Amino acid sequence: MSAVQLRRFRTVLGSARRELPGVGTGGDTPATLMTDVDSLNLVVVDDDEGVRTALRRLLRSLGHDVQVFASAEQYEAQPAMADCLIVDLRLPGLNGYELRERLRLSGSLIPIVFITGDGGPSPSDATAHADTPSLAKPFSDRELIAAITRAVSSRASIQ
């Protein structure tokens, strides 16, 4: 993670509880959507320690339980109950797409939000992962919260 990205994540952490512009219906803000619900169990899988720390702090400040893993293999070895996974696309070893496929093949329907900080397949490539919200790093707290809300909401509508 570059120094600029790390500063941005630190800024996000400092502003996590402020009022954010609405992104949905009914005037709800992303912060309201993520703090007015029961606590979620969220899992972050990212090889960058700075990203893992920043996301853990942000999401915990919103009242959610967060576990972090440095690799897809580490997550698979110690799977955690989760309402949503936040997974880096470009992990060394097993990448985010491959982790999602393995989870789906095992019958898991855990919602996933992809995050990515480098080149390769575009996070907005609809053919690669149309059913999975994706964000390019650096992203704002509002964008992350909206993506988690979309992922969890779309999973709830399936059940």
Q: Output the pLDDT for position 132.
A: 87
pTM (two decimals): 0.74
Mark the ranges of the chain whose per-residue pLDDT is less than 70: 1-37, 119-130, 155-159
Tokens of 25: 């219906």
Q: Output the pLDDT for position 23.
A: 34
Q: Output the pLDDT for position 157.
A: 57
- Residue 104 belongs to domain with CATH number: 3.40.50.2300
Q: Output the pLDDT for position 142.
A: 94
C-alpha 28/C-alpha 21 separation (Å) is 9
Q: What is the span of the domain harbouring residue 51?
A: 3-158
Q: Output the pLDDT for position 68.
A: 98
Number of domains in the chain: 1
Q: Output the pLDDT for position 16.
A: 38
